[in-house]
Amino acid sequence: MRHTISVLVENKFGVLARIAGLFSARGYNIASLAVSETLDPEVSYMTIVVEAKDEKVLEQINKQLNKLIDVITVTDFTKKEHIDRELVLAKVNYSSRDKAKLEAVFGKFVGKIIHHKADTAIIEAVGDQDQIKALLEELDKFGIKELVRTGKLAISN
């Protein structure tokens, strides 16, 4: 099962390595990771998405995260109400012939064209996981040349 975990940490060097180490030491791959400062520049907020094969191991990771001296709070959003969003930038094939078709996509799906050249357009989209997935399936029909994603951000509601 996929878990979305947020971790509030002291904004100090080495803290990311400490957190990543808890996952890697147990053979867990972090699916996505987003880190940035909060309103308080001494505190950073991390959103970590991880695939847990064994819930017990994840519970142990959560407890170990809490044990790290630089970790202030840990929240597992999996069983909590929250809003999550991800930003993606996609470079897709673009020809004047397809222009109308591509623009029509954004009537039904999240996203917009933020840049285009003769043969490529860059699409920016913000949405939850389902919205992003649906958009990418649609864009695939045009041919995605390159894709970058921020990873999930989550906030409680």
Partner 1 sequence: MKMTGSQILLECLKREGVEVVFGYPGGQILPTFDALYGYKGFKFILTRHEQGAAHAADGYARVTGKVGVCLSTSGPGATNLVTGIANAFMDSIPMVAITGQVPTSLIGNDAFQEADITGITRPITKHNYLVKDIKDLARIVREAFYIASSGRPGPVLIDLPKDVQVAQTDFDWPQEPKLRSYNPRYTGHPGQIKRAAKLIMESKKPIFYVGGGVITSGASDELLELAERIGAPVTWTLMGIGGFPSLHKQSLGMLGMHGTAYANHSIMDADLIIALGARFDDRVTGRLDMFAPNAKVVHIDIDPSSISKNVKVHIPIVGDARQVIVELSGEIKRKPAIGDWLQHVEDLKKKYPMCYKDKDKILPQYVIQQIDEVTSGEAIICTEVGQNQMWAAQWYNYTKPRTFVSSGGLGTMGFGFPAAIGAKLGQPDKTVFNVAGDGSIQMNIQELATCVENKINVKVAILNNGYLGMVRQWQELFYKRRYSYTPITSPDFVKLAESYGALGIRVTKKDEVKPALQRAIETDNTVFIDFLIEEEENVFPMVPAGEAINNILGGLA
Using CB under 8 A as the criterion, which residues of the chain lie in contact with partner 1 when the complex forms? 9-10, 13-14, 17-18, 21, 25, 59-60, 63-64, 66-72
Q: How near is the Cβ of 27 to partner 1 at its closest, in Å?
A: 14
Nearer to partner 1, 61 or 132 (CB): 61
Specify whether the CB–CB gap between 116 and 122 falls below 8 A. yes
Measured CA to CA, the distance from residue 73 to residue 64 in angstroms comes to 12
Q: How near is the Cβ of 32 to partner 1 at its closest, in Å?
A: 22
Q: Which is nearer to partner 1, 72 or 114 (CB)?
A: 72
CB of 153 to partner 1, least distance (A): 22
3-class DSSP assignment, residue 22:
helix
Alpha helices in 5-153 (DSSP H): 15-24, 55-67, 99-108, 129-140
Q: How far is the CB of 44 from partner 1 (least distance, A)?
A: 12
Identify which of residues 59 and 140 has a Cβ nearer to partner 1 in the complex.
59
Gyration radius from the chain CA atoms: 19
Q: Which is nearer to partner 1, 79 or 97 (CB)?
A: 79
**Residues linked to residue 122 through DSSP beta bridges, in sequence order:** 91, 115
**Residue 33 beta carbon to partner 1: minimum distance, rounded to whole angstroms:** 17
Nearer CB in complex with partner 1: 68/144: 68
Q: Which residues does 114 contact at the CB level (< 8 Å), separation at least 6?
A: 122, 123, 124
Q: Which two tokens stand for residue 151?
A: 């990873």
